[in-house]
Structure 1
Amino acid sequence: MAGTNLRVSAWRTVVFAVLGLFTTHGASQEDLSLPTGLTPPVEEVITACKSQRYVYPPAEKICVGTACPKLGANAPKIPLARGFKCNRKERIPQISVILFRPKNATYIQQVKTKIPAEWQPELIAFEDEDQSNPKALATHKAIISVLKSDYALYTNNFLGMLRPMNRLIKFADAEVVLVLPEKFHPSTLQRQWLVAAAAAMKFHPSLAMVGMQGADGSAGNGEMEFVHAVSLNHPLVIRRSAFVAAGLIDTSTSCPTWYEKERASWRKFCESLWGHGLSVAALDWEATSAAVEKARIPMELKNRAGGAGTCVIPTEEHVRGKEDCPHGPDIPVASVAVQYFNRRQNVARLGKLLKSMVGMAGADLMVNDDSQSEHSEWMSALSGAENVWLVHSPNIHEIRGYNKLGKLANSEIVAFMQDDDNTRELDWMARATQLFQHHQKMALLGGRAGRIDTGPKMEVKGKRPIPGYTPGPLWQNDGPKYGFKYTKLAKMSAKTGIPFDYVYKVNASPLVVRRSTFLRLGMYHPAMSCVGESGISFDFEYSVRMWKHGYRVGLYYAHFVDFTNSRSTGTWSSANATRKRMVTWRRNNLYLYYMYPNFHHRVGTKLPLDASKDTNEIVNLPCVGGKKLVENRCPLSGAGSTKHGSIFG
């Protein structure tokens, strides 16, 4: 039987190749629309699973000129917000294409020719081969040369197929995701099959996935057939929202190097989709839209709907740590995301800093190399770490880079930092995770500086010896500021002794978030910048958004400093860059007033003042009066009570 299947597969490859030579693209006669929003069956899964992993766009919108809402009489006197033009058009992909371990640039180019250009495909190449040998580096350079507008992701350990599939589906921006397995030949992928698969997704709202072949064989004869499971060895078209809402694939008992275990986990996941009331189908390579409309779910599979759908991936990993199954933890204690652009001199130091964090064994270490430059340097700097993801992005800058890494992360607590950050306090992330544990309403934690907007006037910047710097109003309140280079915190977390307080807005970086809230409320707002440009004040906007939606924003000491002279690089690198930075800064500060009318700043800033009075969470810091902090904490043992009662409860 195995020999027969191989012969059939080989025959099909030849037929596909021949068809590829003679098929014409009648785009004008095709319905090339793809599903974009949530279908009712997927919404039911989100409700049943209380899923917060699915990304929703931010509800808050920017406005320009007279289209902006009128502010109340108590609002500060500010001008109307002005619009701006972007040099690069934002791509909104209708399909994301995941390419497992492409071996050369030709492969990627061949795949590109099969995807309708109208879909504006987002290509995501994945590789987990050892990058220390010259051949692998040569392959990387070739692949990057044809992915200048797309993404290449690398890990430092072999992960099999299921673990990276989970991560890459989250990383994707489109609702429809095409997954191309490692040994798949591009000649077997035909445009007509992709169009038929898209039609199937639209016609069957419960359809979570379409495969080219069922796990137990092909549908055949140009038909579409609903099946228990589809084959991992053939192309898959996936409805991203369905996968994410259902909790993704449970990999706790699968092993990257053990195909049978991966296959068993895959079948279990397909069964779970049926249990959620979703469906799975095999679509023959010759199928048309007529076959799609004719397909019906058999009673045997229909009876599985509403059964045992698994919502949450178990955190216990039965096979991790065995010699024959090496991989990092699927659900690490935290994730750290670094935004990087062409600062080669910082790579080795950043790698050492990330690997030296106290209490963060197995943490997600993710780098967005936005310049697609220091590949071998990063892979070398992060060698030895368990969970490394190096992402080569097409110069999308910090807001979109952070959002991409936030989706890729596997932890609930995610820290975002920059490529010129440095600290000697290696417990900075451990303290952040502990603060989130004891402050459940907090959704954002800053580690550098923060402010309360209770000042009597608006902030005005005077002259500075910086080329391109223009003095004038910044259109933000000149209130008290705390943290690095500002007023020291006078309070602490009652349960941990960590110096801490609630503030209205925090500055990057680091910025530490609860990932579930981060995704559900729209991540960092893309309207704060053009693609590839600075998004200064995006941290303030996200802070205000958290308070507006009923969450809290805190500040502690991560003790981050600038490793290099950032005044001579990045958005300060020239007079033109500095001028653009200042224009963006002022414009985005104005936007906050019109995005949050009659809330920012006077109403909103009262919320952290009230939260700071919650003595179950925050108390005065007794270490201020000469008593030194021990390991960045105020010692709790042996202390008495304060006027608020016991601070150690």
Structure 2
Amino acid sequence: MHSVASNTAGLSQRSRGSSTSTTCSLLTVVLCCLIGFSLIAKTVNTHSITKILDGKIYDSLIIEQGVVREVANEGESIELLTTASNFSSLASEKSFSSDSQKARFLSPKPSIIIGGNSFSIKPEADTLSLRDPNQFEKDFGDNTIFGGFEDAPKFATRLQNMAAVLENREIAETSKLMMQPLLPPCRRVFLPRQSLVDTKPRGTRAPAHGIKRCRITHDDHPTIALALLIEKSAEIVNTIRRLQKLAAEIKGSNNGTRKAEVLVLVDGQWPGEKTLLNAHKLMEGENDWFLISKNKLGEMKQFNKLTRCSQAEVVVWLSVDDLPPENVTNSEQRNWIEWITSAIKIIQSDKSIALVTPQNKELHDEAMRYSMSVKLAPFVVRRESVIKLGGIEEWGGCRGEKITREVGTELSQRLWRGGFKAILLVSSTDFLGRPLPLASTNQSVGGDIADIDSEWPFVLPGRTKKDISEAREALISEASRTKEVVGNCASPGLDDSGIYHGATKSCQGEIQSYPIVSIVMQYFRRPKIIIPLLNSLVRLKFQVEFIINNDSISELSEFTRYSSRGPGNYDWVLALFNNVHEIRGYNRLGMFASSELVMLIQDDDAAPKDDSWVRNALYFFNKYPTLGILGGYRGRIDNGRKQMADLKQNNGQKFGADWKRDRMKLTQALTTLDPGINKPFMWMYKVNLAPLIVRRSLFTEVGGFNTNFSCAGNPGIGLDYEISIRLWKLGWRVGLYDPKFHHAIGNSKQSGTHSGPQKKIRDASEGQNNMLMYRMYPNFHHKVGSSIVMKSNQQGIKSGSFRKIKGR
């Protein structure tokens, strides 16, 4: 029997009716295997979706502007009723003149195309096409410093183009803006591995917090990640122990590198304090990340979240059943490790390969082959590619379910259609290759009774005959396609509280929901104020995801008690990271969040009693499509005449909440309000944590907070100011409002990072990081950026978008 490693050298293709074969090298090992492409697409397990009108049967429909229109050859359109009232079509199908091309981006929502037995999503177009890529260097000038990766200028230009287009998007009625959930964009998400604007390329000068002063064992950019999902029935501590033994072997086997991270998520249970502590002792590595989800969300949702949370190039999706049995022989365990490391090497060898799954050695002669069908787990994925195309599809299944063959195959086909490749790699051990269930276990979702008239989810998207044909053509030709395909676009039927009533009905009454807001709290040892803090945050009546980064691994009993007693509309997640502190904690968990509206809060700020702090934030994000960050505390406009020598920043105007409590008397109240809701609001050059509200997709695409602003475990002073400047530089906007939080409650100034050794580090970092911003944004910070903000506020008053507050 040949080992997997000896057969992972390359692939060759043999097309139908041809005797020639083309060889392509995947690894340095000089061995190739033939691949056949006699693949037959699996038929979707639903009856034909049809509509009858005036005696005619239509089986090809398109949902536009809340109605279903029959697509006839002669171009006729017949309006039909549908439940998908949340959807609208792209605004224009005219020729691609500059004006009509621009109009294609003005609709905030995609359309659904239905044909045959399935449907697919027509996503929002990619704004990168609005400008010639050859203009990249012209947009920002010679003095701008980009991050240390090849495509940073391209990513930055794309975001700038997108902001320019979104400025012209039509806005819904004011009355709807406070209640309308902020949904993720239905388009590709481009994923940088670090901040778009950074200091690394600046000659030989080391970043401000050089590696000699940091914990050198912490790696912000590991090569691989092992992501394990532990369900309720599994024994947590023993399972983690088994995984860590395997991880140690894999780290040593992966081309000699030890750059690996281990992510473990307990899905559907909240262990007791003793179990949490014992489990965490096994997860104390610098790149170990341990999370607990009270509610069981299932493999599709949780693997998507873990993949976004990871920073690795390659992520291995594992369930407990994918691990080798405890009584396995050493030889079989080595075969398991060999398959994992071989799959990782295959992905690392070719940027177009995005997915590797097992195949049974008895069924196939080839060691590996291209395929658009997935039947076995585990999955080994290229993180950037999978996130770019929307992740594994969460439609067509109920909350808490495992990945099915239908879902796995749709991901493979979407990758082929989107310019990537998927591979089946033979397993030389019998226990590797967990069979996936065929479809959803819920008959109302995946069974023969589902159709367009039943409640969502009725069918898996992306599985029309046209979609499958496109994937097959790409596989056979190995053509690099560039179709605008994406998964996990928002589904129909979401109400203002975050409940999918139709999906809930289909899933036999089990609540299917989307959180209106994901709250991410950075916590470090505040035992005297934790109770009032948590009391203030559990009053919201709509769907909420509450994520706590407990960096100090303390007060576990309090978090356990609150999660166990509800309320039921909260998804509780506890992250027990290893004192990575706020920059890395917020980066990881902000991308892990399920909602597009992510509110980053601190552990000494209590929320008001009503829900206006969330509803008003929704209003501003819905009204202003280019609003990237909304501050909820204080902010600055650097329009002063002097530089403060001690803080290394301009002495310009300072605005915000609790301005009367400023002992230095430097803060003033906001001077304008939004007339739609009569609440104070201004554009602001720099805003402070916390709260700080971000769009998850944009936060992801700009690279999150800049990790050069602190070592792992230290305060990230200036992280909020720098990302504010970065967004203005990229053409987006930063706003400031007053959510009426109670700031610095209890003994906050005598605890956390405001006391002891952490305070010294905090103070030393402030001036250092303020100077760093000038090196990062030459010829922009602070004069050019602040002038843009002041003009924006003046234009708001002139246009009537803002109104001056009397006496201010």
TM-score (norm 1): 0.76
Aligned to 1:122, the other structure's residue is in SS state strand
Q: 1:543 to 1:458 in 2, by over 3 A?
A: same
1:141 aligns with 2:324: no
Aligned pair 1:267/2:267, yes or no? no
Deviations 1:109-159 (A, max 9, x none): 332233123242110111123326x5xx54433321110121111111122
Quote the Cα distance in structure 1 between the aligned partners of 2:277 and 2:209.
Answer: 42
**8 Å CA contact 1:338, 1:416 repeated in 2:** yes
The partner residue of 2:224 within 95, 100, 108 is 95
Q: Which residue of 1 aligns with 2:113?
A: none
Tell me what 1:110 maps to.
245
Match of 1:349 among 532, 535, 560: 532
CA drift of 1:230 comes to 2.6
Measure how far apart 1:322 and its partner are: 5.3
What is the SS of the residue equivalent to 1:558?
coil
**Equivalence for 1:8:** none
Q: What's 1:24 paired with?
A: none
Written as runs of structure 1 = structure 2, the 5 A alignment for 1:376-387 is: 376-382=557-563, 383=566, 384-387=568-571
User: Do the aligned residues in 2 keep the contact of 1:153 with 1:392 (CA within 8 Å)?
Assistant: yes
* Residue 537 of structure 1, aligned match among 718, 729, 733: 718
The CA deviation at 1:223 is 0.9
Quick one: distance in 1 between partners of 2:723 and 2:474?
A: 48
Question: Which residue is equivalent to 1:449?
Answer: 634
- Aligned mates of 1:348, 1:191 — CA distance in 2: 46
Please state if 1:201 is matched with 2:347: yes
**Counterpart in 1 of 2:672?**
491
CA contact (8 A) 1:365 1:388 kept: yes
Match of 1:435 in 2: 620
Change (3 A) 1:277 1:59: closer
Q: Is the 8 A contact 2:226 2:262 kept in 1?
A: yes
Which stretch shifts more, 314-323 or 503-512?
314-323
8 A contact 1:451–1:480 mirrored in 2? yes
Task: After TM superposition, give the deviation of residue 307 of structure 1 in Å.
Answer: 9.9
Q: Deviations over 1:577-628 (max 9, x none)?
A: 3332221111011111111112211222111100001233642345769xxx
Q: Distance in 2 between matches of 1:185 and 1:65?
A: 44
User: Separation in 2 of the partners of 1:49 and 1:264?
Assistant: 21
What CA distance in whole angstroms lies between the structure 1 residues aligned with 2:474 and 2:512?
38
Q: State the match for 1:86 in structure 2.
A: 213
Change (3 A) 1:168 1:376: farther
Write the distance in 2 (CA, Å) between the matches of 1:157 and 1:98. Answer: 18
Question: After superposition, where does 1:514-525 map in structure 2 within 5 Å?
Answer: 514-525=695-706
Q: 1:49 to 1:421 in 2, by over 3 A?
A: closer
Asked if structure 2 preserves the Cα contact closer than 8 Å seen for 1:500 and 1:556, the reply is yes
2:268 is aligned with what amino acid? E
Q: Which residue identity is paired with 1:524? A: F
Structure 2 residue 775 is matched with structure 1 residue 594: yes
Matches within 5 A, 1:233-382: 234-256=377-399, 262-286=404-428, 301-302=475-476, 306=481, 310-316=485-491, 319-320=503-504, 324=508, 326-330=510-514, 332-357=515-540, 361-382=542-563
3-state secondary structure, aligned to 2:322? coil
Alignment correspondent of 2:24: none
Q: What CA deviation, in whole Å up to 9, does each residue of 1:443-477 have, x standing for no partner?
A: 111111111212222236xxxxxxxxxxxx21111
Q: In the aligned structure 1, how far is the partner of 2:747 from the partner of 2:482?
A: 59
SS of the equivalent of 1:422 reads coil
Question: With structure 2 as the length reference, what TM-score do the two structures score?
Answer: 0.62
- Give the superposition deviation at 1:244: 0.6
RMSD of aligned alpha carbons: 3.7
Q: Does 1:388 align with 2:568?
A: no
Q: Which of 171, 177, 182 does residue 315 from structure 2 map onto?
A: 177
Structure-2 residue corresponding to 1:61: 198
Contact 2:188 2:484 survives alignment (8 Å): no
Output aligned runs, 1:457-472, within 5 Å.
457-459=642-644
Contact between 2:269 and 2:292, CA under 8 Å: does it hold in 1? no
Give the 3 Å change call, closer, same or farther, for CA 343–551 of structure 1 in structure 2: same
Paired with 2:150 and 2:372, the residues of 1 have a C-alpha distance of: 23
Question: Is the Cα–Cα contact under 8 Å of residues 367 and 425 in structure 2 kept in the other structure?
Answer: yes
Match of 1:121 among 260, 275, 295: 260
Indicate yes or no: 2:752 matched with 1:566: no
* Counterpart residue number, 2:18: none
For the residue of structure 2 that corresponds to 1:115, the secondary structure is helix
- Secondary structure of 2:392's counterpart equals coil
**Letter aligned with residue 225 of structure 2:** S
CA distance in 1, matches of 2:203, 2:488: 48
Q: Secondary structure at the match of 1:183?
A: helix
What are structure 1's unaligned runs of at least 5 residues?
1-14, 17-28, 70-79, 288-296, 461-472, 626-649
Report the CA distance between 1:197 and its aligned residue: 1.2
Distance 1:499 1:373 in 2: 38
Equivalent pair of 1:495/1:617 in contact (CA under 8 Å): no
CA contact under 8 A between 2:389 and 2:418: conserved in structure 1?
Answer: yes
* Structure 2 CA distance for partners of 1:598 and 1:206, relative to 1, 3 Å: closer
Deviations 1:366-409 (A, max 9, x none): 21122233444324323323433221111100011110011112
- Counterpart pick for 1:479 among 637, 641, 652: 652
Conserved in 2, the CA contact under 8 Å of 1:86 and 1:531? no
For residue 503 of structure 2, give the secondary structure of its aligned residue in structure 1.
coil
Closer/same/farther in 2, CA of residues 309 and 263 from structure 1, 3 Å limit: farther
Letter in 1 for 2:652: G
Partner of 1:191: 337
**CA distance in structure 2 between the partners assigned to 1:436 and 1:556 by the alignment:** 12
Q: Measure the CA separation in 2 of the matches of 1:112 and 1:201.
A: 18
Flag the 1:304–1:249 CA change in 2: closer, same or farther, 3 A. farther
Q: Residue 300 and residue 177 in structure 1: after superposition, are their counterparts in 2 closer, same or farther (change >3 A)?
A: closer
Counterpart Cα distance in 1 of 2:365 and 2:792: 66
Letter in 2 for 1:420: D
Equivalent residues in 2 for 1:609-648, closer than 5 Å:
609-615=790-796, 616=799, 618-622=801-805
Which of residues 694, 703, 724 is equivalent to 1:513? 694
AA in 2 matched with 1:570: G
Would the alpha carbon gap of residues 231 and 377 (structure 1) be closer, same or farther in structure 2, given more than 3 Å must change?
farther
Q: How far apart are 1:499 and its partner, in Å?
A: 0.6
Aligned match of 2:189 in 52, 67, 82?
52
Structure 2 match to 1:76: none
User: Relative to structure 2, which stretch is displaced further, 82-91 or 167-176?
Assistant: 82-91
**CA shift in 2, pair 1:420/1:311, >3 Å:** same
Residue 448 of structure 2: aligned partner: none
Q: Residues 223 and 49 (structure 1 numbering): CA distance in 2 closer, same or farther, change over 3 Å? A: farther
User: Percentage identity across aligned positions?
Assistant: 28
Counterparts of 1:131 and 1:173 in 2: how far apart (Å)?
26
Say if 1:235 and 1:68 are closer, same or farther in 2 by CA, change over 3 A.
Answer: closer
Selected match of 1:608 from 789, 800, 807: 789
Per-residue CA deviations over 1:240-284 (Å, capped at 9, x if unaligned) read: 11211111122122024555x844333322332233232222212
Cα offset for 1:541?
A: 1.1
Q: Which runs of 5+ in 2 are unaligned?
A: 5-26, 30-147, 163-184, 430-470, 492-499, 660-666
> What is the aligned partner in structure 2 of residue 226 from structure 1?
370
Match of 2:734 among 539, 545, 553: 553
What is the deviation of 1:321? 5.4
